[in-house]
């Protein structure tokens, strides 16, 4: 099995060398030109994982691996790093951040492992960047809010009891309602942001990934709404021609079929 993996890796690196040398498209690519494609491939992998499509996961992992190899090739051409450097740096990082496996630190729960992980990450980072400096600027806002809350908690800035977060949620909801009455749109946007951030932290404290939770609800809404449109069309109507009560009846039908 190990020989198979090593041979496959060597083959992939050689294919990348050939493409970079002989393919007009591959020759033109840069770090910057590949960036948006890498983001797209990451989301395609996320879709396959959400669908638990194992064949799709395998394919999308391959597409993402291509980007890792491609960036490594670009780094090699600039004399900065190659694939071996990338892999070895990752191994060094994993060993450093798992002292409970490779050292004499004890961590018996996933939470203890994560606390050690964040502390070690911060120790290695430039102190000027601070605890939140490692959160990528380009993350989607929901994911970024979760990661910032997670990192702040790792530094000890969190609610003493997870139940206490609901007081903050209720506070922010009240401020949203107040701004709705004031009519100041910019202030209302800010208060909605505060409410979303509080809800993200509530999800984190209760062990829920808010991105996955919202994706699940999005898919549920999509399937129910598509059902409504299909049933309306079967009756010779569009949703625009139906009353809210008629649409609600179709919505309940869609729910009953789940």
Mark which of 55, 85, 115 sits at the end of a domain. Answer: 85
Q: Which residues contact 68 (CB under 8 A, 6 or more apart)?
A: 83, 86
Please give the pLDDT value at position 1: 58
102 within domain boundaries: no
CATH code of the domain containing 64: 1.10.287.1080
The backbone torsions φ and ψ at residue 206, rounded to the nearest 5 degrees and listed phi first, read: -100, 15
Q: In whole angstroms, what is the distance from residue 80 CA to residue 43 CA?
A: 28
For residue 236, what is the DSSP state? T
Tell me the C-alpha distance between 69 and 93, whole Å.
19
Q: 251, 212, 194, 252: which is closest to 228 by C-alpha?
A: 251
Indicate the SS3 state at residue 52. coil
The pair of structure tokens assigned to 129 is: 């960047």
Alpha carbon distance 103, 45 (integer Å)? 34
Is residue 21 a part of any domain in this protein? yes
DSSP string, 117-134: HHHHHHHHS-GGG-GGGG
Residue 116 lies in a domain: no
Helix (H) or strand (E) holding 8: helix 2-22
Predicted TM-score (pTM) of this structure: 0.65
Would you say residue 196 lies in a domain?
A: no
* Residues, the chain: 258
Per-residue pLDDT for the chain (258 aa), expressed as one digit of tens each?
568 999 999 999 999 999 999 999 999 999 999 998 998 999 899 889 988 999 999 999 999 999 999 999 999 999 999 999 999 999 998 998 888 888 888 878 887 887 777 777 767 655 556 788 878 888 889 999 999 999 899 888 999 999 999 999 999 999 999 998 887 777 888 999 999 999 999 999 999 999 889 988 998 999 999 999 999 999 999 999 999 999 999 999 999 988
Collapse the DSSP code of 257 into the 3-class scheme (helix H, G, I; strand E, B; otherwise coil) and give the result.
coil
pLDDT digits (tens, 9 = 90+) for 121-139: 767 655 556 788 878 888 8
* Those residues with Cβ within 8 angstroms of residue 175's Cβ, 6 or more apart along the chain or in another chain: 191, 194, 195
Q: Residue 133: CB partners within 8 Å, gap ≥ 6? A: 125, 126
Q: Which domain holds residue 69?
A: 2-85
Instruction: State the number of CA atoms in the 13 A half-sphere of 27 facing the CB.
Output: 5
Give per-residue pLDDT as tens, 56-92: 999 999 999 999 999 999 999 999 999 999 999 999 9
Number of independent structural domains in the chain: 2
Q: 153 in a domain, yes or no?
A: no
Question: Residues 44, 45, 51, 53: is their CA dihedral positive or negative?
Answer: positive
Asked if the structure places residue 155 within a domain, the reply is no
**Which of 51, 85, 119 lies at the terminal end of a domain, its last residue?**
85
Domain boundary among 85, 109, 137: 85
Give domain status of residue 222, yes or no.
yes
Q: Is residue 245 part of a domain?
A: yes
The tokens describing 205, both together, are 């404290």
The total of other beta-carbon atoms located within 10 Å of residue 210's CB is 19
């Amino acid at each position: 099995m190990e020989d198979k993996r090593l041979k496959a890796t060597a083959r992939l690196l050689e294919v990348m060398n050939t493409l970079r040398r002989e393919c007009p498209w591959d020759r033109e690519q840069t770090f910057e030109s590949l960036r948006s494609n890498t983001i797209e491939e990451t989301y395609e992998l996320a879709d396959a994982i959400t669908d638990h499509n194992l064949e799709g996961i395998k394919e999308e992992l391959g597409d993402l691996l291509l980007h890792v190899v491609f960036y490594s090739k670009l780094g090699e051409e600039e004399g900065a790093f190659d694939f071996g450097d990338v892999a070895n740096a990752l191994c060094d990082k994993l060993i450093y951040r798992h002292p409970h496996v490779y050292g004499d630190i004890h961590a018996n729960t996933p939470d203890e492992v994560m606390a050690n992980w964040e502390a070690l990450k911060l120790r290695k980072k430039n102190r000027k960047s601070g605890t939140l400096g490692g959160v990528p600027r380009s993350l989607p806002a929901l994911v970024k809010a979760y990661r910032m809350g997670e990192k702040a908690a790792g530094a000890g800035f969190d609610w003493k009891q997870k139940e206490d977060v609901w007081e903050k949620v209720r506070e922010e909801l009240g401020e949203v309602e107040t701004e709705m009455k004031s009519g100041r749109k910019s202030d209302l946007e800010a208060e909605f942001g505060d409410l979303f951030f509080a809800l993200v932290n509530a999800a984190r404290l209760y062990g829920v990934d808010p991105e996955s939770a919202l994706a699940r609800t999005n898919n549920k809404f999509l399937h129910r709404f598509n059902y409504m449109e299909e049933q309306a069309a079967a009756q010779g109507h569009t949703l625009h021609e139906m009353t809210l009560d008629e649409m609600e009846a179709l919505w309940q039908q869609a729910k009953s079929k789940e």
